[in-house]
Amino acid sequence: MSNSHSDQAPGQNKVYSIIVNGRPREVTDHKLTYLQVVQLAYPGEVPTEKIVFTVTYSNPHGKDGSLVDGQEVVVKDGMIFNVRKTDQS
């Protein structure tokens, strides 16, 4: 069943096309957290005391930036996320 009111609720059920570490991804969340982006890049992995993830993003419709644990960013079509995994030995 389709939502006949979808044209009345901008942003509802929208699919955003983004790039994570060079791979196309589609997400439905209007905002992504640091951990969600890490999971898109490295499914099943989480930051630990020894493993750190650096998350940066490029937004063709706004500001570029970076995310740290506890932060989130508003998603726009065409955003590019780069996630780098570092092992602190």
Looking at domain 13-87, its CATH class is alpha beta
- Whether 34 shows a pLDDT value over 60: the answer reads yes
Rg (CA), the chain: 15
- Whether 13 shows a pLDDT value over 80: the answer reads no
The predicted model gives 18-41 an average pLDDT of 97
Q: What is the mean pLDDT of the chain?
A: 88
- Whether 7 shows a pLDDT value over 90: the answer reads no
**pLDDT reported for residue 5:** 47
- Distance in angstroms (rounded) separating the CA atoms of residues 27 and 22: 15
List, in sequence order, the alpha helices (H) in the chain: 34-41
Residue ranges of domains in the chain: 13-87
